Structures are given as C-alpha cells and as structure tokens.
Amino acid sequence: MITLGEYIVKTQSEHPSATGELTSLLSSIRRAAKIVNREINRAGLVTDIIGGSNGSENVQGEVQQKLDVFANDKFKAALEARGEVCGIASEEEDYFVCFDSAKRSDAKYVVLMDPLDGSSNIDVNVSVGTIFSIYRRVSEPGTPVVMEDFLQPGVNQVAAGYVVYGSSTMLVYTTGNGVHGFTYDPSLGSFCLSHENIRIPEEGKIYSINEGNYIKFPEGVKKYLKYCQEQDETTKRPYTSRYIGSLVSDFHRNMLKGGIYIYPSGTSAPNGKLRLLYECNPLAFLAEQAGGKASDGFQRIMEIKPTELHQRTPYFVGSTAMVEKAESFMTKFSSPAK
C-alpha cells in the first residue's frame, strides 16, 4: 500500500529538476487535512465547533460557520509553518495574506483555497470538502507578495486538488501529470493510494444543478435541462439528476461516474455564485487532467484572466461530451454574462 507521502516522493524522483519544495507544500496540505478531518468527525460531539454560524460574514456576505474559521486557520498555519509559501488567498479572508518573514518572502509559491466548501451541511452530516490551487509567484522573490501573484489565469497553476470529507476521506490532486486519489486510513493515520490516474468518462448520465433556481436560469441552461430529461434510447436519456449542494462532493461523484455540474448565471448571483480563483480553476485543472472539460458556458475556464480576488463566474464542468452539449445550447439560446 503506497501512502501519499511515498507517492509524492516517488513522482518527485521521476523529475530530476524537482527541488522538493512543491512536495513539502503538498505535505503541509495533507497535515492540515488530517486535523480538519478529525474535527469534522467529532463535530457532533464538540459544541464549540458544531452549531452553525460564528456570528460573522466573509467578504462575499456569506455567513461563516465555526468550522469555516477553524479550517481556514489550520490550513493557513500549516502553509505558513514551512518556507515554500509566501502568501495565501482564501474564501474566508477579505484580502490576500502575506507571510512577511524574511524566510517566507523568498518562497516561490502562493496558495488559493476554499478551506471548507459546503460547510452549511456540517450540521446534517452531509459531505464537505477543501479545495486548493497552487501557483508560482510572478513578483520578485525576496519581496512581499502582491495582488498580481494571485490574479493569474488557471492555465498557470502548477498543482491543484481537493479533500472530500465523507463516508471516507479522500485527497485528490494533480501536478499536471494526471489525477490521483488517496483515501485516508485512520488506523494508519495515512492517506493511501486508492485511485491512480483517474479518468472522467467521456459521456455521463448525471446532471447536477440546483433546479430550484430554474426560473432564473439562462435560456440555454433551461433548454439543456429539457434535453437531459427527454426520453431517447440512442443517447440513453433521460439522465439522472443528482445534486448534493456541496461542490466538492458533486464534482467528485461526477468525475468518477461521469456527469456534468452546472452553476449558471441568472440565479441570485448575476455572474454565477462560484469563485473563479479558488473553486472553479482548481477543479477545472483536475477535470482537464482527467480528460474532462470546464467552461463558463462559452469559453475555457482556465483561460479567463481574473480581475478580482473573489471574482465569480458561471460554471459548467465534467464529462467532455456533456459540457460541449451544454455549450452548444448556451451558444444558440443565451448570451455570455457581463
């Protein structure tokens, strides 16, 4: 049985130019994920963690759960503890965080993250997750990080991944050489390789969308949903609707089984709800590395040049054939969000 640490070292040895810094960074994420996993599994017993809101909101105006803040603090501390990361951006932080010691200012990487996606589901024991994205800084090493280090298009990512905390806890990541999944074995205290070289089926039978917002959807999305629901033996429709409401969980299921996840514009968020930098880009990187596709309905997600740290975007991600079919409906019936 190969552990995550062993696998990272093994793959590093296959690249003679590797310095070990990215390996160390991923080890920091692994360590923080173990701590967060422990608290999630104890949440029903720990009154200072469970119980909904901590009484504050994040920069997006969303109510912060107690575990949101806990997870953010643990990942931030783990990443600052080593010298590979000079700054982070998080859903739970209004602005980016600069690790300003002399040692950190020489670091090469910045990390963007959603520390606990789907945290409102904690109280009802529904799967949640962590999403992370890693970039090389563009500013001069030895100086404090600047906004431009974070406002990079997704094509510049050097690594990305997520942790899904569910019936089992899995860490899934890519460094641009395929997608690999590791399941946490609590008896060993280790993430062990369970899904090597994950591939998204070209075609799927699952569509994931909050249909409660149907009346506000763009016409292209409405037409695509009708297509998914129509009877057709040739294309094996109707498809099955599956929506957990936790992005990581919905994405993880569709990546393994085949399907499409959609969060369009035209809901309560005119530009979509999901954040480009620390939700859409990292999952897009994973999807493409697994043979899938990610789009805003009209263009490749990872080619969008961000202009804001917490920028939102419509999102279509999953099996390539399904995303392309949805795009064809968007092109025919809708206009790009402005």
Q: Rounded to whole angstroms, how far apart are CA atoms 254 and 261?
A: 8
Q: Rounded to whole angstroms, how far apart are CA atoms 180 and 191?
A: 12
Q: Rounded to whole angstroms, how far apart are CA atoms 113 and 217?
A: 28
210 is in an annotated binding site: yes
120 is in an annotated binding site: yes
Q: Rounded to whole angstroms, how far apart are CA atoms 250 and 229?
A: 19
Cα torsion for 13, 21, 168, 71, to the nearest 10°? 180
Question: What letter would DSSP give residue 212?
Answer: G
114 is in an annotated binding site: yes
243 is in an annotated binding site: yes
161 is in an annotated binding site: no
Q: How far is CA 266 from CA 24, 299, 329, in A?
A: 41, 17, 16
116 is in an annotated binding site: yes
Residue in 278, 248, 267 with CA at minimum distance from that of residue 119 = 248
**What are residue 170's DSSP bridge partners?**
164, 183
279 is in an annotated binding site: yes
Cβ neighbours, 10 Å, residue 10: 11
Beta-carbon contacts of 182 under 8 Å, excluding residues fewer than 6 positions away, are 3, 4, 7, 170, 171, 172, 191, 192, 193, 194, 195
Helix (H, G, I), strand (E, B) or coil at 302: helix
334 is in an annotated binding site: no
Tokens 């799927």 sit on residue: 204
- Going by the annotation, the residues of the binding site are 91, 114, 116-120, 210, 243, 273, 279
- Going by the annotation, the residues of the binding site for Mg(2+) are 91, 114, 116-117, 279
- Going by the annotation, the residues of the binding site for substrate are 117-120, 210, 243, 273
